Amino acid sequence: HPSPLVRDQYLMTIADRTGIDPDLLRTQAAAGPRPAPSAGGGRGRDGRDGRDGRDGRRGDSPSGRRSGGRDQAAARRAGSSIDGPEVEALRLLVTHRDDMLEWLSEPLFADELVLSAFRSMRAHASVLAATEAADPGAAELIQRAAVEDTESEPIDVIDLLLVEAGRRELRRLDAAARNSDDPLQYARTIGSVKLLVEELQSEHRSVEAREQLLALLRQPAEGGG
């Protein structure tokens, strides 16, 4: 689908059904389908089996050193949420600043790079000032958000962020309850978060549900309810 928001809603539905982490699904979707193996057992036209060097070593750089996996890992991480609601929120923060700042809060961001960009954009009203104040990775993300178009409605993105943050909080609370001598102390908070997440996924989303879930997410992490 051409809309990143619609694609992400579909991914969230799959995540609910399968239990797979949404960021993993986003990474796989961004990578696209795997290429089919080439004929001849994967060998190239020159008869080699897809390796770069004459000595058969795979993936060597021109200097003779192997390319490390750190750059690739960093690229995957930076792109893991690039079409998700967190980055969509940054795009909307450029065009609908007041509407977004009414709801945006640090607990709604799981990706550290996006969170860093959000902090700078929240502190600086202009894109230029936010970019200059941010670290290089966050600055690049801010610049991208400023030039990328979006047709998403601010409140729809806020609700997606709240739902994802609510799920993360449920996982945290469930883990804390399992390791607690008194797991029942978490029961009330777990029940409240579950109900609010379900309401924000329904056709009857309300301002009250947003306010209540955001308040719960802003509570100190050690609070068990």
Count how many domains the chain has: 2
Work out the percent of the chain whose per-residue pLDDT is above 70.
Answer: 60
Question: Higher-confidence residue: 177 or 30?
Answer: 177
**pLDDT at position 219:** 87
> For residue 112, which of 23, 33, 49 has the smallest C-alpha distance?
23
> What is the average per-residue pLDDT within 181-188?
93
**pLDDT at position 194:** 97
Question: By 3-state DSSP, what share of the chain in percent is helix, strand and coil, each rounded to 5?
Answer: 60, 0, 35
Does pLDDT of 10 surpass 50? yes
Q: Are 158 and 103 in contact (CB under 8 A)?
A: yes
Angstrom distance (rounded) from CA 56 to CA 58 = 6
**pLDDT at position 95:** 95
138 lies in the same domain as 175 = no
Q: What is the DSSP string of 94-117?
A: HHSHHHHHTT--GGG---HHHHHH
Q: What is the DSSP string of 51-63?
A: -SSTT--SSB-TT
Q: What is the DSSP string of 18-53?
A: H---HHHHHHHHHH-SPPPPPTTTT--TTS--S-SS
**pLDDT at position 14:** 62
Tell me the per-residue pLDDT of 55-69, one tens digit each, with 9 for 90 and over: 444 444 444 444 444
User: Is residue 108 in a domain?
Assistant: yes
137 lies in the same domain as 158 = no
12 lies in the same domain as 104 = yes
173 lies in the same domain as 198 = yes
> What is the average per-residue pLDDT within 115-130?
97
Q: Which domain holds residue 164?
A: 154-218
User: Is residue 122 in a domain?
Assistant: yes
Look up tokens 């003779």; give the residue: 64
